[in-house]
Amino acid sequence: MRTVSRQQVFGSLAGLVALSCLPTVSHAASSSIGRLRLSDAEWRKRLSPEQFAVLRRAGTEEPFTSPLLNEHRQGAFACVACALDLFDSATKFDSHTGWPSFFRARRGAVSERRDTSLPGEPRTEVRCARCDGHLGHVFTDGPAPTGLRYCMNGVALTFHPR
């Protein structure tokens, strides 16, 4: 009797170990871009006050202030907080809004969620998929081929020429 119960205990332990391994394995398989999650205190050390206000507090930069509006070289626009490539220069267009605009984000690079912070004007917020930083919004009045307009805060982006 005693031996049997000990085997049952070992059996249960083995089951627990196997279960506790599962989340780690599936996480590694599903997050190919990796995730960067920091506290506000850590973000304040890494970011300028302007970058923090936009990325971590969903602020909006003044229009026509971003140097990236006049960036017309070939390359990639990356998240300034975590360096994830977000937009290719081939998808950039001049929306005349004063904010850097793109008609397509790189696959899997951004997450989108409903934003009801402006009364009567539901919008779709765009965040970086790696660090969850606020980037801007996406609207459906963009040009072909997607009809989308990713309206981005230039202060949240950095440009890497090819």
Using the Cα atoms of residue 96, residue 73, residue 62 and residue 104 in order, give the sign of their dihedral: positive
Residue 79 annotated in active site:
no
Residue 46 or 143: the one with the smaller Cβ distance to Zn ion is 46
DSSP annotation of 98 reads S
The residue type found at 53 is A
**Min separation Cβ 82 and Zn ion, Å:** 3
Is residue 49 within 8 Å of 126, Cβ to Cβ? no
| Partner residues linked to 75 by β-bridges | 161
In the bound state with Zn ion, the residue whose beta carbon lies nearer, of 132 and 143, is 132
Burial of 30 (0-12, 13-18, 19+ CB in 10 A): exposed
Residue ranges that bind Zn ion, judged by CB under 5 A: 79, 81-82, 84, 128, 130-131, 133
* Shortest distance, position 49 Cβ to Zn ion, whole Å: 18
CB of 85 closer than 8 Å to CB of 106: yes
CB 80, min distance to Zn ion, A: 8
Q: Which of the residues 79, 82, 131, 151 is marked catalytic?
A: 151
Q: For Zn ion, which is the closer residue by CB, 86 or 148?
A: 86
The set of catalytic residues is 151
